[in-house]
């Protein structure tokens, strides 16, 4: 096998489409992290058994992330990884949930677990390896498509406040605060890529944040009411060619795999790229590299503190 690729969130939606695309384009080994490996039926149907390893991983649990890192290193031995794609994520629309380690579950799943994963597998990456996080236009308060869905942009002050799920918008109702936590996690995913891409130690890698666009038909709306779920799954996919910013898992996976993972195109380190291959629209806050670097430093400090308390 020519290469090894690690991917989170590969059991559904964008991740499943990306794994399928990668299997079609290469003879690589795909190591996929899944909360319930036994339920990864579609993934196992999409990728040949000899080219797939599905390992248990819950990115909301730092203990699970550490176990996954150890398992990956055991399986690859002295070989190196060609890419690490951090797709796993969730959007909670109800009351805030905290992890067993005391971290907001949205932030832990979408961001903090992936920071731990990238740092933990850093020494296992080959030169020119791709490291990719997943952003979203929901972070941008000026994104009109996101605003129609109730998003008001990221509500970020610092890493610790975000890790606790704290917001600064007292007028937002419960659903609004949940949307804010999701949008903030996506700003932090942009920060993660930007700050990592600027680090001297990552100068040999291709570090990007990918915005896959709005992808109706996926499981993202599973917590919405029946009417919204119907429109999301049956109506919006038909209209995606008519609405700017709307894509599909297959379309977004093609750009993600071909251009970013396999490197058919080269972008600036830490670049934020959308599913069309163009630079993704970012808020002024997202474009602040110093803020991104402060965030990553604080997030790593939080990881160190949390890990030491749970050992």
| Confidence grade of residue 232 (pLDDT, cut at 50, 70, 90) | very low
Are 89 and 14 a contacting pair, CB within 8 Å?
no
For residue 193, what is the domain's CATH number?
3.40.50.720
For residue 228, pLDDT over 50 is answered with no
Mean pLDDT to the nearest integer, 31-53: 96
DSSP single-letter state for residue 234: I
CA distances from 66 to 31, 139, 149, 232 (A): 15, 28, 35, 35
DSSP label at residue 134: E
- Whether 7 shows a pLDDT value over 60: the answer reads yes
- Identify the bridge partners of residue 104 per DSSP, sorted by sequence position: 98
> Which pTM value belongs to this model?
0.91
Domain extent for 240: 4-310
Please tell me the predicted confidence (pLDDT) of residue 229.
Answer: 45
CA distance 123 to 36: 27
Q: Which residues, 6+ apart, have CB-to-CB distance to 33 below 8 Å?
A: 6, 7, 8, 9, 10, 54, 55, 56, 57, 59, 68, 88
* Residue 216 banded pLDDT, cuts 50, 70, 90: low
Q: Count structural domains, the chain.
A: 1
Query: Which residues make Cβ contacts (< 8 Å) with residue 281, sequence separation at least 6?
Result: 137, 140, 143, 274
Q: Interior CA angle at 116 toward 105 and 122, to 5°? A: 155
pLDDT value of position 310? 52
Q: What is the pLDDT of residues 109-141, one digit of tens each?
A: 999 999 999 999 999 999 999 999 999 999 999
Judged against a pLDDT cut of 80, whether residue 146 lies above it is answered with yes
End-to-end CA distance of the chain: 37
């Amino acid at each position: 096998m020519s290469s090894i690729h690690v991917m989170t969130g590969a059991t559904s939606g964008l991740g499943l489409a990306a794994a399928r695309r990668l299997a079609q384009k290469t003879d690589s080994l795909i190591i996929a992290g899944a909360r319930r490996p036994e339920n990864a039926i579609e993934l196992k149907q999409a990728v040949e058994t000899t080219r797939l390893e599905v390992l248990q991983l819950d990115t909301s649990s730092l203990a699970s992330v550490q176990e996954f890192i150890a398992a990956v290193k055991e399986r690859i031995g002295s070989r190196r990884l060609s890419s690490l794609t951090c797709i796993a994520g969730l959007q909670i629309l109800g009351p805030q949930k905290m992890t067993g380690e005391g971290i907001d579950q949205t932030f832990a799943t979408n961001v903090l677990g992936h920071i731990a994963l990238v740092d933990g597998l850093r020494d296992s990456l080959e030169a020119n390896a791709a490291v990719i996080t997943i952003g979203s236009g929901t972070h941008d308060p000026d994104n009109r498509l996101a605003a129609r869905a109730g998003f008001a942009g990221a509500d970020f002050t610092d890493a610790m406040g975000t890790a606790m799920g704290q917001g600064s918008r007292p007028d937002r109702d419960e659903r609004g605060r949940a949307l804010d936590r999701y949008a903030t996690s996506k700003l932090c995913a942009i920060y993660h890529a930007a700050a990592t891409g600027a680090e001297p130690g990552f100068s040999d890698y291709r570090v990007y944040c990918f915005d896959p666009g709005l992808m109706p038909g996926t499981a993202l709306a599973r917590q919405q009411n029946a009417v919204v779920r119907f429109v999301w799954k049956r109506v919006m996919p038909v209209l995606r060619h008519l609405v700017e910013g709307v894509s599909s898992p297959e379309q977004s996976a093609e750009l993600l795999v071909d251009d970013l993972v396999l490197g058919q195109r080269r972008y600036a380190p830490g670049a934020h790229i959308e599913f069309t291959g163009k630079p993704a629209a970012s808020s002024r806050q997202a474009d602040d590299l110093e803020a991104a670097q402060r965030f990553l430093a604080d997030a790593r400090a939080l990881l160190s503190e949390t890990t030491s308390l749970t050992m």
